[in-house]
Amino acid sequence: MAGRLQLTLALLKPDVTRVPHVVQAIRNKIIQEDFIVVRHKEVRLQREKTEEFYKEHKGKFFYNRLVTFMASGPTQALILAHEDAIRRWRTLMGPTKVYKTKYEAPDTLRGLYGLTDTRNSTHGSDGEENAVNEIKFFFPEFSCDDWYKLDEEKFRRGEFLLDERNFVHKLL
């Protein structure tokens, strides 16, 4: 990778985390698309935390359904790195509206694994500012600034290996 790496938050939502072979298929796709997995963990969000994460949608018709769903089971949170990571992850996910995705982008993650507009398999940050905030929400101990100062160049040069058991790339 030649250019500066960008970080984004990726979530595997409860509808897919309940199905191990789908989680593995998504992980395989992440690696095939040359994303670097900087951090990875499974979390179970309480309703209050879910409401906080999705506060920008409060008052919208789908808010309660989304919050209830996201609090219904485990979610896998990942910090992904790549040149233009936000756009690349969003392209890999596909459009939010699953009925549209099934026809227009059937080979995307949502086209393959999404069930409804709420149970659409994945989430991704929609911009750099949101990425930083969302990463901080799920990984409060992680500093994007420190990662760029201390680790980004090493990852960009390919000085890492995949720890398959923990599904995270480790610096050499």
Q: Give me the pLDDT at residue 36, please.
A: 99
Q: How many percent of the chain have pLDDT more than 90?
A: 98
Listing DSSP states for 45-113 in one string gives --HHHHHHHTGGGTTSTTHHHHHHHHTSS-EEEEEEEETTHHHHHHHHH--S-HHHHHHH-TTSHHHHH
Q: What is the pLDDT of residues 67-117, one digit of tens each?
A: 999 999 999 999 999 999 999 999 999 999 999 999 999 999 999 999 999
For the cut 80, the answer to whether the pLDDT of residue 12 exceeds it is: yes
In a domain, 107, yes or no: no
Residue among 57, 56, 94, 53 nearest 70 (CA): 53
The pLDDT-based confidence of 1 (bands split at 50, 70, 90) is low
62 is known to lie in a ligand binding site: yes
Residue among 37, 9, 4 nearest 130 (CA): 9
Q: What is the mean pLDDT of residues 19-35?
A: 98
Q: Report how many domains make up the chain.
A: 1
The pLDDT-based confidence of 3 (bands split at 50, 70, 90) is confident
In a domain, 112, yes or no: no
41 is known to lie in a ligand binding site: no
In a domain, 106, yes or no: no
Q: What is the pLDDT of residues 30-54, one digit of tens each?
A: 999 999 999 999 999 999 999 999 9
123 part of the active site: yes
13 is known to lie in a ligand binding site: yes
Which residue segment(s) compose the domain that 47 sits in?
A: 6-93+121-157
In a domain, 100, yes or no: no
Query: What CATH number does residue 84 fall under?
Result: 3.30.70.141
Measured between alpha carbons, how far is residue 148 from residues 1, 77, 106, 169 in Å?
15, 20, 35, 16
Q: How does the average pLDDT of the chain come out, rounded?
A: 97
118 is known to lie in a ligand binding site: no
pTM: 0.96
In a domain, 111, yes or no: no
Q: What is the mean pLDDT of residues 149-163?
A: 98
Q: What is the pLDDT of residues 137-146, one digit of tens each?
A: 999 999 999 9
Distance from the Cα of residue 44 to its chain's centroid: 15
Annotated catalytic residue, options 40, 82, 123, 169 = 123
102 is known to lie in a ligand binding site: no
In a domain, 129, yes or no: yes
For the cut 70, the answer to whether the pLDDT of residue 2 exceeds it is: no
Quick count: other Cβ atoms within 10 Å of Cβ 9?
25
